[in-house]
């Protein structure tokens, strides 16, 4: 690997001596180098502070330090929405480079599963009520057996779970009332 780079180095060293125009071309090229990978910027974007980057490079930089989003050159504030994509004439499809690198999907988390199934309704500390639909005979058992102890105890007051349970039981209560009214009037 070192050998290849040496030969490249000697090649590039001999090039400017060959023709005088090479020097100018090189300077122009360097003007368009990404400040992160130091290569010619592809999918170029420019920051509000005027610094040029490849969008993939800048995207990775922003991802590396999500809490400290600064321009890698001048440390001005920088963000995804505050960079401008550059469209050259040679570029046939003028797609916003920012859409190419997909933003990382947000993390997903689910609540741990409740083993005892349907939690039913809680009124106060110990009393629970459930209802069944129609004349299915097991409905009787459902309401009967729900007086047993097999359900988890209600969450203690003040916790988020307690609030959630209260909220849910209110919703179900209203659904039940509406259902009963619908049965009566329909």
Partner 1 sequence: MANIAAKRIKREFKEVMKSEEVAGGAIKLELVNDSWTELKGQIAGPPDTPYEGGTFLLEIKVPETYPFNPPKIRFMTKIWHPNVSSVTGAICLDILKDQWAAALTLRTVLLSIQALLSAAEPNDPQDAVVAKQYRESPQLFNLTAKHWTNVYAGGPSSIFDFNQKVQLLIDMGIDEHQARVALSTYDWELERATEQLFS
List interacting residues with partner 1 (CB under 8 A): 1-2, 5, 9, 12, 35-39, 51, 57, 60-61, 64, 68, 70-73, 75
Q: Quick one: 69 or 98, whose CB is closer to partner 1?
A: 69
CB of 21 to partner 1, least distance (A): 19
CB of 66 to partner 1, least distance (A): 12
Q: Quick one: 68 or 93, whose CB is closer to partner 1?
A: 68
CB of 69 to partner 1, least distance (A): 12
Query: Which DSSP letter does residue 76 get?
Result: -
CB of 8 to partner 1, least distance (A): 8
Q: Quick one: 51 or 122, whose CB is closer to partner 1?
A: 51
Please give the Cα distance from 83 to 94 (Å, whole number): 16
- E strand spans, the chain: 44-47, 52-54, 83-85, 121-123, 127-129
What are residue 176's phi and psi, to 5 degrees? -65, -45
Q: Rounded to the nearest 10 degrees, what angle do helices 21-31 and 2-18 cross at?
A: 120
In sign, the C-alpha dihedral spanning 157, 158, 161, 166 is positive
Q: Quick one: 41 or 154, whose CB is closer to partner 1?
A: 41
């Amino acid at each position: 690997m070192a050998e290849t780079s040496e030969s490249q180095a000697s090649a590039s060293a001999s090039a400017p001596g060959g023709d005088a125009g090479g020097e100018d071309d090189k300077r122009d090229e360097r003007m368009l180098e990404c400040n992160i990978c130091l290569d010619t910027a592809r999918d170029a974007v420019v920051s509000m502070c005027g610094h040029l980057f490849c969008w993939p490079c800048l995207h990775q930089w922003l991802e590396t330090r999500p809490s400290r989003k600064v321009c890698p050159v001048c440390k001005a504030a920088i963000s995804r929405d505050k960079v401008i994509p550059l469209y050259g004439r040679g570029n046939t499809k003028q797609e916003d480079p920012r859409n190419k690198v997909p933003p990382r999907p947000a993390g997903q988390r689910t609540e741990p599963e409740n083993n005892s199934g349907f939690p039913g309704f809680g009124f106060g500390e110990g009393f629970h009520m459930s209802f069944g639909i129609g004349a299915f005979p097991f409905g009787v058992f459902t309401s009967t057996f729900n007086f047993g102890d097999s359900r988890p105890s209600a969450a203690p007051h003040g916790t988020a779970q307690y609030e959630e349970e209260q909220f849910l039981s209110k919703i179900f209560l209203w659904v039940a009332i509406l259902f009963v009214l619908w049965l009566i009037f329909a």
